[in-house]
Amino acid sequence: MIGTIQHAAALLSACRSAVALTGAGISVESGIPPFRGKGGLWEKIDPMEYAHIDAYKRDPEAVWRVLFMELKKVLDKALPNAGHAGLRDLEEMGILKTIVTQNIDGLHQKSGNRDVIEFHGTFASHSCMACERRLDTSQVLLETLPPRCACNGILRPDVIMFGEIIPVDHLQRAQILAASCDVMLVVGTSATVQPAAYLPVIAKRNGAAVVEINAEPTPLTGNISDVTLLGKAGQVLGDLVAAVRRLR
Interacting residue ranges for ligand APR, rule: CB under 6 A: 23-25, 28-29, 34-37, 40, 47, 102, 120, 188-190, 192-193, 214-216, 218, 232-233
Q: Which is nearer to ligand APR, 100 or 209 (CB)?
A: 100
- Cβ proximity of 211 and 15 under 8 Å: no
- Cβ proximity of 141 and 61 under 8 Å: no
Q: How far is the CB of 36 from ligand APR (least distance, A)?
A: 4
Q: Which is nearer to ligand APR, 37 or 112 (CB)?
A: 37
Which residues are 44's β-sheet partners? Answer: none
Q: Which is nearer to ligand APR, 149 or 240 (CB)?
A: 240
Q: Which is nearer to ligand APR, 76 or 216 (CB)?
A: 216
Which residues are 211's β-sheet partners? Answer: 185, 227
Catalytic residue among 84, 108, 120, 126: 120
- Cβ proximity of 55 and 137 under 8 Å: no
Q: How far is the CB of 50 from ligand APR (least distance, A)?
A: 11
Q: Which is nearer to ligand APR, 80 or 149 (CB)?
A: 80
- Give dist(CA 188, CA 243) in Å, integer: 20
Q: How far is the CB of 220 from ligand APR (least distance, A)?
A: 10
248 to 14, 15, 95, 163, 197: CA distances (angstroms): 9, 12, 12, 45, 31
Known catalytic membership, residue 120: yes
Closest CA to 35 of 100, 99, 104: 104
- Give dist(CA 187, CA 25) in Å, integer: 7
Q: How far is the CB of 114 from ligand APR (least distance, A)?
A: 21
- Give dist(CA 41, CA 44) in Å, integer: 6
Give the residue at shortest CB distance from ligand APR.
Answer: 25
Catalytic residues: 120
